[in-house]
Every structure is written in C-alpha cells, then in structure tokens.
C-alpha cells in the first residue's frame, strides 16, 4: 500500500515498502528507486524555469525498519497504512498503523536509506530513529561484510569531528544500535553537525565514501517528536 506525497505542488503516490532481509531490502530499493526517479523527473520538468535542485538523488528513498513484518512474520509491506509522511532534505518522518487483535497499533520513525550501489553489486545502508518506553533508539543497518576505517563512522562540522563511534559492531556492519544517553548524545551531534561521513569497504570489496548531509534534520526531529507524542509513543520530556 502506498500514499500520496506532495512535492512542488503535485501529488505522487509513494510505495510503503518495509523489509528486513537482504532480498527484501533489494526489492524495496528497486521499487522505491523507480518511484523516486519518476517523481524527480516530473518535478524537474515542472521547475525548469526556477533553478530546480533535486532534494535527493534517485534510489536514496526507501523504508526499511528492522522491526517491520506482517502479522504472519513475513518480511513484506504487510498491511501497514501510512498516515503521516514528511520529507526534510534526505530525512523522512513517517507514522503508520495497522489493526492487531482488534486494536490499532501505531509507529513513528525517522528514516534515512542510502542505496549506494545498484544490482548486481547491491549495497545499502540505513538508519532508523524510533521511540522507546525510556527514550529513543537509533539503529544503523549495514550489510554483513562491511568494514569501516577506524575513523570512518563520524559526524563532521566544518573540518572538525564532533562525534564518532569505535564500536566493533558498527565498524564491522554487525550490530549498531544506540539507546539511552548514547542515543541522546548522537541526536545532539546530528542537530549541530554538518554531515555524517562514512568511509568503508563494502561487502563486494569496493571502497565507499558516503556523505549524509544533516540539513533538515532539526525539522525532521521536531516533526518526529510532535507526531510521536501525539500518539503517546514518546515521553513529553524527550
């Protein structure tokens, strides 16, 4: 199921694509890539006389929350229905819902997905920020076989490093999750930094150097908090 997203005065139907396995990620990426490319072309045509600058390159738009499965436990879009979706630069805030046991289950999250290499040497990396009972959780997803340089997982402001991690799980693409104070510190760095910088070798042995601009993250964070608190998913103190 998809939803309509407004861009430059025009509505486009975006797929609601959720997956957890590598094959599921690839399938999602292909469908979202097609949508993103189509929308960018249509918007560009309508904005040719106003110096249009694309807000995101094709195939960097996907939804892959690690916990998203259907009621049978399958890695599919299932029956989640998107009820809120805003785009702030490369950052998306999304809320969706579905019926479980006769009651409505709701979720909200911030997502960023970077499909940096298409098939046949597919490569993708993502981050999700989700509300938790005691605060927030920030989960990065990298494919097994990814290997970061010691300083290759960082946030920069100008020529300074304002945050970096040396966690083995993060640098080897195994498990990279921040909760509690560590998550709060990371959000603070995202609010004040200029960009994420990721320097690594992907699972195909190819060197990668990715930059995720943090422009718009402050607005995405404010929207995420507002929407999560309205659904009682996030404590007011966050």
What is the model's pLDDT at position 102?
A: 87
For residue 96, is it within any domain? Answer: yes
Task: Supply the mean pLDDT for the chain.
Answer: 77
pLDDT for 153 beyond 50:
yes
Rounded Cα gap, residues 83 and 137, in angstroms: 22
CATH number for the domain spanning 44: value is 2.60.40.1880
Please tell me the predicted confidence (pLDDT) of residue 192. 96
Residue 100 pLDDT: 87
Tell me whether residue 199 is in a domain: yes
The domain in which residue 20 lies consists of 2-230
Task: Specify if 83 maps to a domain.
Answer: yes
Report in angstroms the alpha-carbon separations of 36 from 8, 30, 55, 89, 139. 14, 10, 11, 14, 24
Stronger pLDDT, 12 or 213, i.e. the higher one: 213
* CA distance linking residue 18 with residue 65, whole number of Å: 6
Indicate if the alpha-carbon torsion angle 176, 181, 186, 190 is positive or negative: positive
pLDDT at 113 over 90: yes
Q: Express each pLDDT in 159-217 by its tens digit.
A: 999 999 999 999 999 999 999 999 999 999 999 999 999 999 999 999 999 999 999 99
pLDDT over 60 at 127, yes or no: yes
Tell me how far CA of residue 121 lies from CA of 26, 75, 89, 200, in angstroms. 11, 22, 27, 15
Is residue 235 very low, low, confident or very high in pLDDT (cuts 50, 70, 90)?
A: confident
Here the contacts of 30-38 (C-beta below 8 Å, separation 24 or greater) are 30/119, 32/59, 32/61, 32/62, 32/63, 32/113, 33/58, 33/59, 33/61, 33/62, 33/115, 33/118, 35/61, 36/60, 36/61, 38/12
CB within 8 A of 62, min separation 6: which ones? 17, 25, 28, 29, 32, 33, 111, 113, 115, 124, 126
Residue 236 CA to residue 207 CA, distance in Å, equals 42
Q: Is residue 238 part of a domain?
A: no
Q: Model pTM greater than 0.75?
A: no
Residue 78 has what pLDDT?
Answer: 62
Q: Nearest CA to 78 among 107, 117, 48, 110?
A: 107
* Residue 137: CB atoms within 10 Å: 18
Write down the residue that tokens 């990721």 correspond to: 198
50-99 pLDDT tens trace: 222 222 222 233 333 434 444 445 544 568 899 999 999 999 999 999 98
Q: Report yes or no on 173 lying in a domain.
A: yes
Using an 8 Å Cβ cutoff, are 200 and 147 in contact?
Answer: yes
The pLDDT score that the predictor gives to residue 42 is 34
The answer as to whether 235 is a domain residue is: no
Query: In this model, does residue 101 exceed pLDDT 50?
Result: yes
Does 237 fall in a domain?
no
Number of independent structural domains in the chain: 1
């Amino acid at each position: 199921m998809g939803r309509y997203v407004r861009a430059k005065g025009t509505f486009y139907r975006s797929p609601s694509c959720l997956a957890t396995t590598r094959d599921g990620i690839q399938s999602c990426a292909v469908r979202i890539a097609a949508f993103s490319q189509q929308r960018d072309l249509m918007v560009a045509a309508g904005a040719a006389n106003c110096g249009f600058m694309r807000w995101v390159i094709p195939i960097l738009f996907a939804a892959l929350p690690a916990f998203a499965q259907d009621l049978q436990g399958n890695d599919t879009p299932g029956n989640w229905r998107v009820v809120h979706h805003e785009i702030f630069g490369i950052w998306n805030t999304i809320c969706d819902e579905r019926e479980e046991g006769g009651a409505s289950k709701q979720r909200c999250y911030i997502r960023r997905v970077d499909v940096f290499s298409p098939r046949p040497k597919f490569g993708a990396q993502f981050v999700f920020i989700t509300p938790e009972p005691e605060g927030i959780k920030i989960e990065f997803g990298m494919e097994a076989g990814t290997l970061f340089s010691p300083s290759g997982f960082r946030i920069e402001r100008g020529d300074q490093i304002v945050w970096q991690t040396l966690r083995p799980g993060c640098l080897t693409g195994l498990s990279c999750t921040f909760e509690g104070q560590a998550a709060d510190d990371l959000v603070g760095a995202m609010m004040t930094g200029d960009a994420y910088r990721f320097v690594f070798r992907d699972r195909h042995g190819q060197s990668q150097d990715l930059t995720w601009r943090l422009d718009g993250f402050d607005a995405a964070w404010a929207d995420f908090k507002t929407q999560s608190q309205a659904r009682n998913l996030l404590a007011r103190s966050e």
